[in-house]
Structure 1
């Protein structure tokens, strides 16, 4: 009798421990990282507007510097899901970190700018000039070298001009001081420079490639296997955030300006231009959408082909290996 009682107590304790573990498992936060860029506003909006909580999610949201840092955090097991540029995703995929692209975040954001008084009027005139860009092999560098320079301008990015690697936050000052002749930049830096009157746009990539996808939501296979329901809920919150951005531009512009600590700029007429106006200007070159259309997937394939042709990856990849829209489809219901 005593033995049975002890056995019953042991089983009860085990059941309670199992229940506690299950509860703890449910409360385990979904660790979400995002590149700290205006185009990734849906991650911030989902958090600020309470869309993650509405879906019953416990999200630990982390802002990180760039795509490679995001990939390193994923590889180290420090993140479950991320908002990142497409090229770092497939570059790391080719090295063994086989994340899946689940949804689109934004389209547009990049532009080539020159000094307002520059004699340069077309991309071909960049030959022999200095252009501010980012780290060779990075996502934006793939777009610059593969599309803007090789395909659009017919230039050899390694021989026909000097690409100067610098942080995007330094590009406007370098352009104003004549250190470089042009810059390949993105929002909000492009709009800040244009509104100040110190530069003009030589190429708006979103006009040349309407609604080209850039940032995407990605997840590790381990996350998809172990936490599929939470991934669907996250994508549902992502859809809600994008709807808010598109349906409430004034309010979302204010939230974005606050989140990215944008400062007012002074125009050529001396008038002060508010931070929200910078975001509104940026919206003329970027926007938000969750759905991965056939054209988006084709563009991702183009990026992968550019990277292969430029020697940044030595594997030929196909989008079927890396894109999985099934979770986004579930999030639509």
Structure 2
């Protein structure tokens, strides 16, 4: 039987545990569980697209704070430039998988940290002007198509979809321009169609009466993995616990976004330059909950087939150690 002295010593130890929050008997608090993060601040590059809505939801619902992280979302207009800012002004950036994989083949040392978005019906599409008679993908043998970048997802998926419509890939005339300038180009007849993603598709429909020529998430690009998040390998090697915390938050945020598409549409009004009525019409795809190498390999293999990559890229080598699905 414990003596009175022993009992008093036990009480003293327990009180110390409570006061210092260091006693494993009671478990650790959410903040304490992440006290050993290599760093608490993350600078993340984002664009004004539906894909990043879960990050906005995570900020609003303080999911990052619960994991001991402070996050600054930094607006970006160009995938390639955002990737080049890693390890300088950005720690993580959003971009299309096509952009990430192309930069890797050009020498960038990247590690994927999460999938952001997977295409759904009309979440990416070829769009025409309101008076255009271009009403069938195979109608024009040499169409002029606006894309945001000839090394990005628009170029890749447009070639694949028009190929199924018997349009020769070598005869497609691509023209680079920012998404925000495509409405004007369509109205002026400068291009036959423009590859757009949301919310730019819905904005063009409401602003100028644009029409969808074809969904570019069909046939070979059905449910196509569109975008994700990556850091440099250098940052990943020195901050594994911090990035694990980021991936945990991202997964929870993706779950919430997938379960509540209305919350996704509502969040657009805070960052994507759309009003409530426009946001309510935006088509929303899928928010993946994991890094799936088989799904992502599909993108790399199509890039190889379409000669955007010089050879086959093994996507598994870009995932964090131990990631299998």
TM range (shorter): 0.7 to 0.9
Deviations 1:130-156 (A, max 9, x none): 2222232234323333x233x433433
**What is the match of residue 222 of structure 2?**
210
The answer as to whether partners of 2:145 and 2:193 remain within 8 angstroms in 1 is yes
After superposition, the Cα gap between the structure-2 partners of 1:161 and 1:87, relative to the gap in structure 1 and judged at 3 Å, is closer
> What is the aligned counterpart of 1:120 among 128, 134, 142?
134
**What is the match of residue 53 of structure 1?**
65
TM-aligned CA deviation for residue 293 of structure 1: 4.1
In 2: Cα distance, 1:205 partner to 1:66 partner: 21
TM-aligned CA deviation for residue 193 of structure 1: 2.2
> What is the aligned counterpart of 1:110 among 108, 113, 124?
124
TM-aligned CA deviation for residue 190 of structure 1: 0.8
TM-aligned CA deviation for residue 213 of structure 1: 0.9
In 2: Cα distance, 1:163 partner to 1:291 partner: 33
Check if 1:137 corresponds to 2:151. yes
After superposition, the Cα gap between the structure-2 partners of 1:96 and 1:78, relative to the gap in structure 1 and judged at 3 Å, is same
Gaps of 5+ in 1: 1-22, 263-274
**What is the match of residue 297 of structure 1?**
296
The answer as to whether partners of 2:304 and 2:311 remain within 8 angstroms in 1 is no
The CA RMSD over aligned residues, in Å, is: 2.7
The answer as to whether partners of 2:53 and 2:267 remain within 8 angstroms in 1 is no
In 2: Cα distance, 1:280 partner to 1:287 partner: 17
TM-aligned CA deviation for residue 172 of structure 1: 1.6
- TM-score, reference length from structure 2: 0.78
Deviations 1:149-183 (A, max 9, x none): 3x43343344x232222211111222123222211
The answer as to whether partners of 2:125 and 2:196 remain within 8 angstroms in 1 is yes
After superposition, the Cα gap between the structure-2 partners of 1:296 and 1:327, relative to the gap in structure 1 and judged at 3 Å, is closer
**What is the match of residue 279 of structure 2?**
279
After superposition, the Cα gap between the structure-2 partners of 1:58 and 1:258, relative to the gap in structure 1 and judged at 3 Å, is closer
Q: Which residues of 2 match residues 32-51 of structure 1 at below 5 A?
A: 32-51=44-63
TM-aligned CA deviation for residue 24 of structure 1: 11
The answer as to whether partners of 1:245 and 1:288 remain within 8 angstroms in 2 is yes
The answer as to whether partners of 1:27 and 1:58 remain within 8 angstroms in 2 is no
In 2: Cα distance, 1:327 partner to 1:294 partner: 9
Q: Secondary structure at the match of 2:225?
A: coil
| Greater Cα offset, 290-299 or 84-93 | 290-299
After superposition, the Cα gap between the structure-2 partners of 1:47 and 1:326, relative to the gap in structure 1 and judged at 3 Å, is farther
Q: Secondary structure at the match of 1:122?
A: coil
**What is the match of residue 67 of structure 1?**
79
Check if 1:319 corresponds to 2:318. no
Q: Secondary structure at the match of 2:150?
A: coil
After superposition, the Cα gap between the structure-2 partners of 1:294 and 1:29, relative to the gap in structure 1 and judged at 3 Å, is closer
TM-aligned CA deviation for residue 129 of structure 1: 3.1
Q: Which residues of 2 match residues 1-333 of structure 1 at below 5 A?
A: 26-27=38-39, 29-74=41-86, 77-108=88-119, 109-145=123-159, 147-149=160-162, 151-158=163-170, 160-196=171-207, 198-208=209-219, 209-262=221-274, 275-284=275-284, 286-293=285-292, 296-306=295-305, 309-310=306-307, 312-324=308-320, 326=322
In 2: Cα distance, 1:214 partner to 1:239 partner: 17
Q: Secondary structure at the match of 1:281?
A: coil
Deviations 1:21-51 (A, max 9, x none): xx99855522322233222222222222211
In 1: Cα distance, 2:302 partner to 2:109 partner: 17
In 2: Cα distance, 1:120 partner to 1:111 partner: 14
- TM-score, reference length from structure 1: 0.76
